[in-house]
Amino acid sequence: MSDPVLYETRGPAAWITLNRPEKLNALNGAVLDGLNAALDRSIADDDVKVVVLTGAGERAFSAGYDLSAEAAHAEIPAHTWHDVLGTDIDATMRVWSLPKPTIAAVHGYCLAGGCELAMACDMIVTGESGQFGEPEIRYGSGPVTLLIPFILGQKKTNELLFTGDMIDAAAAERAGLVNRVVPDDQVESEVEGLVRKIAPTPLPVLRLTKIALNRAYEAMGLQEAVKMNLDLSSMLNAADTPEQREFMDIVKSQGLKAALAWRDARYGEVLGGASA
């Protein structure tokens, strides 16, 4: 079996690749473990100035948490959900607080927990195929790591989280979610250009600048908002609404694709994907 997360160095950059292309790079326990190990390597290597996070294949950066695996937790109580979701949040916030600049290199679906991982990076470069959003409300869940209000602001966040809509790369750039949109075949070269601009700065200066930027968001309440959202998300996932039960029953009996079709048909759309 292939490693769920790949790690390579390219000059002053460490490239970390989510490696489940057949599952749209959906996040599960093995991916999170691999991500944490890769982040450890990048921190320990003083030759690494910048960390790049991307997804394998052409279809997705990551479509979010693996709902096929999550179906096994469908009937657990809120206090157990708190532990499950806490593990997810810890991985995302490790990216957020990494003591080196981070860049998400995005193509295709970047949804739910995958969108949160991208938002946790300091910069996002996306190909024109990029699709962003947090569609969790459509089956009775919500964002796990509540970063989006601090990235987009109130009104656009409200729209996306109440509707579960996706936005394309151009709309994401207009909203301030991403830094740059380029043709898909130019994403890596665009990221490498950013790395070359960042790398001449001494590592201690980069680290202190990153700390200053993160503390500014912490002063706005980001860390507290993430913690409070964990408490609410645990209750939300354990709410056991008829829609939640129906979705998970279809996952178990007919598979994830059928459950997603049922979910999106309720909203008059056909989206698909393995997002959570």
Query: Which sequence positions are flagged as catalytic?
Result: 116, 136
d(CA 182, CA 77): 44
Helices 256-265 + 242-254 axis angle, to 10: 140
Contact 113, 90 (CB under 8 A): no
Q: Which of 127, 67, 87, 125 is nearest to 248 (CA)?
A: 67
From CA 116, how far away is CA 98, in angstroms rounded? Answer: 15
Q: Do 14 and 40 meet the contact criterion of CB atoms below 8 Å apart?
A: no
- Buried b / exposed e across 211-241, counting CB within 10 Å, b at 16+? eeebeeeeeeebbebbeebbeebbebbbeee
d(CA 125, CA 122): 10
Residues 6+ apart with CB under 8 A from 111: 62, 63, 64, 131, 132, 133, 134, 135, 166, 273, 275
- CA 148 vs CA 117, 202, 241, 248: distances in Å: 11, 30, 25, 26
